[in-house]
Chain A
């Protein structure tokens, strides 16, 4: 049974990658947009933060490009927009395009010689709203009643919590690269706290979901048999997340001179590895009612 689950997840590895990277990257961009909107920033700080929005932007693009490579015939991709409103997948792609358009245009515009700040603020608001839409789009992309193991409230909740786990840590790294020192103050502490609370809630939600898997049954197997190591994955996710937070905690609460970016990168690799594991297990558990696996 586990072999079938494994086959599904390996077959959809690009989607595993996309759904690992995109939600957290989008959340990081939303956090950065929030700071650009509401914090008192010097011109230079604003410019540097604008510039390094490219980090989460590129990561979310990598995810999207990765997911496009799994298409059998990308030439027909534009037809995907004809399904908006009907197909959850079309809704997801549409929300992705809207979000990336807002973020990409904002980022390019930020390099103009005299950017208009009020205009930028409207644009940043659009990034935040469309980002929430995009994460929701991914969360409900597989919402179809026949897919019994995915048609559960835990699926969108977990996806949103994933974004809240990885988004703040990626934002911290981006701010660090942008040399925005206030992450060593209240901002850094708040971001660590959000990620920490999200790790706890996400772990609880994963564990509760795990307890529902044995009762999800079709004519071949149960969801629990497709992902027998779900509990181990949840444990790994929690431990990796907490290790990442420990690193950030030392950077944010630590005194003394500014740290290099290597620990921040390591912290992000840890947290994203944990999310990747859980996304892999998510695809492993795919099954429909009846005879589909």
Chain B
């Protein structure tokens, strides 16, 4: 079995969200739905010190993330119908809409907030890794769209060889929960998982 993975280069991302919009366009997603989301983290303070000099501890960075097609997905474990499944050939996790009851448990359990129930459609929806493009030898649309070439996609061996580490910066959870196939090259400002400074500050946009 091949296992595919995503790569995110935090030293290249400008936070422009072209990836997110390209995905929305390609997948024809309505308001309120995004399979790829860009999380913004900002922290720190700017003050005047006793000499009247302005000093700042501010930092900020972005993380672009979709479903991580985990090795141990929480979504497939809890899904009562087996609709949420991990493909034996590609390792991509997707929804079989002919089985899904739209209960929303996958959404409740995923620590990356990837699946969401589309009430109008009556089933859960999420990133499927652009499986039809991948089987045609192309990369997912978000990867192709990134103007800064901050994203990549490939087999987990290819992606791990790019030099990142497995999804271990804030605002993500510790990777041991689901063993995600997501590798990150962090920017200098990136904060460790669980850091008090690592809060996502754009909830209205990503939740």
Q: In the complex, which residues 244-293 of chain A have their Cβ closer than 8 Å to any Cβ of chain B?
A: 286, 288-293
User: If A145-B177, A219-B200 touch, does A89 touch B111 (CB 8 Å cutoff)?
Assistant: no
Chain B contact residues: over half helix, strand or loop, or mixed? loop
**In the complex, are the beta carbons of B110 and A89 less than 8 A apart?**
no
Select from chain B the residue with minimum beta-carbon distance to A73: B122
Q: Which of A78-86, A163-171, A181-189, A195-203 contacts its partner?
A: A78-86
Report which residue of B39, B80, B177 has the largest number of chain A beta carbons within 10 angstroms of its beta carbon.
B80
**A77 contacts B101, C-beta separation under 8 Å:** yes
* B105 interface residue (CB < 8 Å to A): yes
Chain A residues with CB under 8 A of B108: 142, 144, 147, 286, 288, 292
- Are B99 and A76 neighbours in the complex by a CB distance under 8 Å? yes
Q: Please, which residues of chain A bring their CB within 8 A of the CB of B77? A: 86-87, 144
The answer to whether A72 touches B111, judged by C-beta atoms less than 8 angstroms apart, is no
**Is the Cβ of A73 less than 8 Å from the Cβ of B102?**
yes
Q: How far is the CA of A76 from the CA of B80 in the complex (A)?
A: 11
Q: Does A218 contact B (CB under 8 A)?
A: yes
Q: Give complex CA distance A144, B102 in Å.
A: 18
A72 to B80, Cβ gap below 8 A? no
Is the Cβ of A74 less than 8 Å from the Cβ of B170?
A: no
Query: Residue on B with the closest CB to A145?
Result: B177
The closest CB in chain A to the CB of B65 belongs to A291
Does A104 make an interface contact (CB < 8 A)? Answer: no
Contact B207 A4 (CB under 8 A): yes
Give CA–CA (A39, B103) in the complex, Å.
42
Nearest CB of chain A from residue B13's CB, rounded to whole Å = 17
Name the 8 nearest CB pairs between A and B, nearest first: A72-B102, A219-B171, A290-B173, A290-B111, A79-B81, A72-B122, A73-B122, A289-B173
Contact sample, A vs B, 17 pairs, CB 8 Å cutoff? A71-B101, A72-B102, A72-B117, A72-B121, A72-B122, A73-B101, A74-B101, A79-B81, A83-B80, A88-B78, A90-B80, A145-B74, A147-B109, A220-B203, A292-B109, A292-B110, A292-B113
